Amino acid sequence: MLRIEKLLPGYNCGECGLSSCREFASKLVDVAGLERCPLLKQERFRSRAEEIARLLSISHQSEGEQEIIGVLDGLRADFALSPLPGEPSCREDLHPFNPAVRLDEGEIFRYRPLGCPIIHFARVLRSSQGVITVHMVGPVHLLHGQPAPGDIGICLVLAFEGTISRGRRPEVGETVRFLPEHCMMQKVHSGVVVHSEGERLRIEGIDLKVW
């Protein structure tokens, strides 16, 4: 949308029936929609109109090839989030509701994310000022007949960090729908992109309900 907006005439004339070129770009879904902008029909904007048409065509092809649907909810995600290179799962930042929780690096524990019915198992990467950064590890104790790790109760999921494996690359500040590849329920999550570096993303303001 941002690339298309930059290619539009930028006069915000309202001839398309919308208040601005930005709004026109946000609602443009196919090449036929370009007919609503009379300025794009002028010879001086011909090359821009052709480039917009090309971008729309690429966008539709990509969506068809990489459509990502949550298994549990059937919702469409913007992209799938994979682990950082060499890591077993996406990183998650958690805030335990129990203020007495103290965990050390490498410790394995179980918890339930607020809004999720599934018990999760995680390994601590670091713990600082009430925020625990973890990897998901699964109930590995069952394979070895060991006692279950300690349960710290309900946690608020603050952030995810990983890389884009499928789907489109979002802009910083954009509210997105994403599917963490390690999610046991294959449920679409939502949040706000706060950092982007290559294919690496950090998403905060996590919500397990997608509006």
pLDDT, one tens digit for every residue, the chain (211 residues): 788 888 999 888 888 888 888 888 888 877 778 888 999 989 999 899 888 888 887 665 554 445 788 887 788 899 999 999 989 899 999 999 998 999 999 999 999 999 888 899 999 999 998 999 999 987 766 666 778 889 999 999 999 999 998 888 899 999 999 999 888 888 999 999 999 988 899 999 998 776 5
* Reported pTM: 0.67
Domains of the chain, each with CATH number or no CATH: 2-65 (1.10.15), 70-207 (no CATH)
Report which residue type is found at 67: E
Q: Please say whether the dihedral angle defined by the alpha carbons of residues 186, 192, 194 and 196, taken in this order, is positive or negative.
A: positive
Q: Give the separation between CA 189 and CA 113, rounded to whole angstroms.
A: 12
